[in-house]
């Protein structure tokens, strides 16, 4: 829990317990706004409404809108990685693990989830040329996904389910482009079957 304490004057007037808010719940609300609208189209008033916080509490906890974005981005990556690893873990072979990773992004690329978009992809669009530090966070997220995919491909090569002739690094980059592209296309309202067909076609990269 994060202390969203009162201003000095308010503190003088009140001897009650400082107000508190649930950081995780607040960041979950913030990341939904950032994912749907993008960083630049999101205002502090949008965040105060979504997070159910006063602007003073937001500035105290995060300093500014950029601070809210970075905190929400970190939580988004943490939760996403946890869900992705849980989806991959039960797969018996490297090839199946690759497919499950592709399907993880596919399932986020249609319907309500698809229209909400991806905070990482949106961050790449918003910060690539404008904010070097934030852009580095986005680049790190992309690189982590690319490394994981390359590792899964190599597991498939070791267990014989993916041909040795596949260039693991090149295929991993191609999958990165595909999965992030799915999140962009997902905002246009494509159907689940269309996205699954794309995922199945992508598996030819490791055939």
Among 42, 58, 41, which residue's Cα sits nearest to residue 4?
58
91-206 fold: Tetracycline Repressor; domain 2 (1.10.357)
Tens-place pLDDT, residues 99-147: 999 999 999 999 988 888 888 887 777 776 667 888 888 889 999 999 9
pTM: 0.80
Every domain of the chain and the residues it spans: 21-75, 91-206
Q: How confident is the model at residue 199 (pLDDT cuts 50, 70, 90)?
A: very high
Question: Which tens digits make up the pLDDT trace of 24-65?
Answer: 999 999 988 988 888 888 999 999 999 999 988 999 999 999
DSSP three-state, residue 19:
coil
The answer to whether the beta carbons of residues 190 and 114 sit under 8 Å apart is yes
The architecture of the domain spanning 21-75 is Orthogonal Bundle (1.10)
pLDDT at 190 over 50: yes
Q: What integer best gives the mean pLDDT of the chain?
A: 86
* DSSP notation for 94-137: HHHHHHHHHHHHHHTSSHHHHHH--HHHHHHHHHTTT-HHHHHH
Cα–Cα distance measured from residue 39 to residue 33, given in angstroms and rounded to the nearest whole number? 9
CB 126 within 8 A of CB 40: yes
Burial label, 201 (beta-carbon count in 10 A; 0-12, 13-18, 19+): exposed
């Amino acid at each position: 829990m994060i202390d969203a304490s009162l201003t000095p004057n308010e503190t003088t007037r009140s001897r009650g317990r400082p107000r508190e808010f649930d950081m995780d719940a607040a960041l979950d609300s913030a990341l939904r706004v950032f994912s749907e609208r993008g960083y630049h189209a999101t205002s502090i008033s949008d965040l105060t409404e979504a997070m159910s916080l006063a602007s003073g509490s937001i500035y105290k906890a995060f300093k500014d809108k950029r601070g809210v974005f970075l905190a929400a981005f970190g939580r988004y990556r943490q939760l996403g990685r946890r869900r992705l690893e849980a989806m991959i873990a039960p797969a018996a072979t490297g090839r199946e693990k690759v497919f499950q990773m592709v399907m993880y992004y596919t399932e986020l690329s249609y319907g309500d989830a698809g229209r909400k978009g991806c905070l990482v992809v949106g961050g790449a669009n918003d910060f690539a040329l404008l904010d070097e530090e934030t852009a580095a966070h986005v680049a790190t997220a992309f690189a982590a996904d690319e490394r994981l995919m390359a590792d899964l491909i190599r597991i498939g090569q070791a267990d014989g389910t993916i041909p040795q002739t596949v260039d693991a690094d090149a295929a991993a980059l191609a999958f990165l482009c595909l999965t992030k592209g799915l999140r962009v296309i997902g905002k246009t309202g494509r159907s689940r079957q269309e996205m699954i067909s794309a995922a199945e076609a992508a598996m030819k990269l490791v055939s």
